[in-house]
């Protein structure tokens, strides 16, 4: 079941809104909310300009001049995946603030970035979400595969690879095999708390043996934090399923395979989900700060236009700055003096 754009505002209005006519609907993805929260994607060509435009767009939304909307299910998944990639162990958005607070107790956590994560969750709670019947997992839709392969340029082999992170798998396994050297009985029995300091020390020890650097910043830091997130999740699951140390190799392999399958992802697959929801629900704009995604989609979107019923449903991917200019022009034309 898909939502005709003409009915989009009517359904949301029934849920408590009060407007004479539907405003422009704009779909929002995770990187956009991160930028609004003060942690913008580095893919933006003018980071400060995009953030400033986002804040002005947010004010227009709060004044009910426009409609910002997203998928509850896919945005929740994106937030969980994103926070875990920052090292913060989150399994459910219902407890995301508690997880961020616990992560902040670790001395290696960047407090400024943590505050932006909290604002991200706040903004997500503030925007509209697609009504439940029109928001669901659509990876089986044939159009999803077409967007992945023909528009975003990801091959079937890349998207379905069973071993996408072999090097990371080896490092996680090495850390897990040393758990009995780091954890005491009481620490191992504590299933409610993630011991970020101990887990980071364990990871750092492995880096040292391999001649690597324990960096927090830059590309190497991004990779280390992503690995840290995978390690935290793996240790949490091993603690719950294996009460005694050391952990058998067969169990280590099972848990790490499960964690990689759930938390490793291609960003293009996440992007395709949001694009497809825009198409199926007739939402005209998808706002993102990822310039590369904007260029790739808008350059190849004609591949989809020839498909039945899609010529009038094709969204346009736009940056906040570009979108704000167009919104302002539209509002000024309709209401002089705004």
Q: Is 234 exposed, middle or buried (0-12, 13-18, 19+ CB in 10 A)?
A: buried
> What pLDDT sits at residue 280?
85
* Comparison of pLDDT for 262 and 158, the residue scoring more: 262
pTM summary value: 0.86
Q: Residue 222 and residue 148: Cα distance in Å, rounded?
A: 25
In 3D space, the residue among 304, 299, 261 whose CA is nearest the CA of residue 142 turns out to be 304
* Comparison of pLDDT for 185 and 305, the residue scoring more: 185
Q: Give the CA radius of gyration of the chain.
A: 22
> What pLDDT sits at residue 52?
94
Region 42-64 average pLDDT: 86
> What pLDDT sits at residue 235?
97
Query: Chain-wide mean pLDDT for the chain?
Result: 84
On the question of pLDDT at 294 being above 60, the answer is: yes
Q: Residue 59 and residue 55: Cα distance in Å, rounded?
A: 6
* Comparison of pLDDT for 218 and 327, the residue scoring more: 327
On the question of pLDDT at 138 being above 70, the answer is: no
On the question of pLDDT at 129 being above 60, the answer is: yes
Region 169-198 average pLDDT: 94
Region 141-160 average pLDDT: 77
Highest CATH level, class, for 5-10+20-154+266-334: alpha beta
- Mention every residue, 6+ apart, whose C-beta is less than 8 A from residue 105: 196
Give me the residues paired with residue 24 across strands.
66
- φ, ψ of residue 232 to 5 degrees: the values are -60, -45
Q: Residue 111 and residue 254: Cα distance in Å, rounded?
A: 34
**Range with the poorest average pLDDT among 21-30, 105-114, 300-309, 311-320:** 300-309
What strands, in cross-sheet order, belong to the sheet with 316-318?
128-129, 66-70, 24-28, 285-287, 316-318
227 neighbors 203 (Cβ within 8 angstroms): yes
């Amino acid at each position: 079941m898909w939502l005709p754009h003409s009915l989009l505002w009517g359904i949301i209005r029934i849920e408590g809104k009060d407007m004479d006519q539907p405003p422009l609907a704009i779909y929002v993805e995770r990187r956009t909310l991160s930028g609004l929260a003060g942690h913008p994607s580095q893919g933006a060509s003018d980071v400060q300009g995009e953030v400033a435009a986002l804040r002005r767009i947010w004010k227009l939304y709060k004044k009910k001049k426009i409609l910002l909307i997203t998928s509850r299910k896919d945005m929740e998944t994106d937030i969980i995946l994103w926070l875990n990639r920052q090292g913060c162990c989150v399994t459910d958005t219902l407890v995301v603030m508690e997880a961020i607070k616990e992560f902040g107790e670790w001395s290696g956590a960047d407090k400024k970035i943590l505050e932006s994560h909290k604002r991200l969750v706040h903004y997500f709670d503030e925007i509209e979400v697609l009504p439940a019947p029109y928001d669901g997992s659509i990876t089986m839709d044939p159009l999803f595969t077409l967007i992945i392969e023909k528009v975003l340029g990801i091959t079937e082999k890349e998207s379905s690879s069973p071993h996408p992170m072999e090097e990371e798998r080896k490092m996680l396994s090495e850390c897990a095999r040393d758990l009995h050297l780091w954890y005491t009985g009481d620490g191992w029995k504590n299933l409610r708390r993630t011991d970020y300091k101990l887990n980071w020390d364990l990871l750092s020890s492995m880096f040292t043996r391999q001649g690597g650097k324990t960096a927090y910043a830059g590309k190497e830091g991004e990779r280390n934090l992503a690995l840290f997130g995978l390690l935290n999740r793996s240790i949490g699951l091993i603690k719950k399923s294996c009460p005694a140390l050391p952990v058998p190799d067969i169990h280590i392999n099972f848990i790490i395979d499960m964690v990689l399958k759930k938390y490793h992802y291609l960003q293009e697959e996440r992007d395709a989900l949001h694009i497809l929801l825009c198409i199926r629900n007739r939402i005209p704009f998808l706002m993102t700060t990822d310039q590369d995604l904007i260029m790739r989609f808008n350059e190849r979107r004609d591949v989809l236009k020839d498909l039945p019923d899609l010529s009038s449903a094709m969204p346009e991917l736009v940056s906040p700055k570009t979108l704000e200019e167009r919104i302002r022009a539209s509002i000024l034309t309709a209401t002089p003096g705004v």
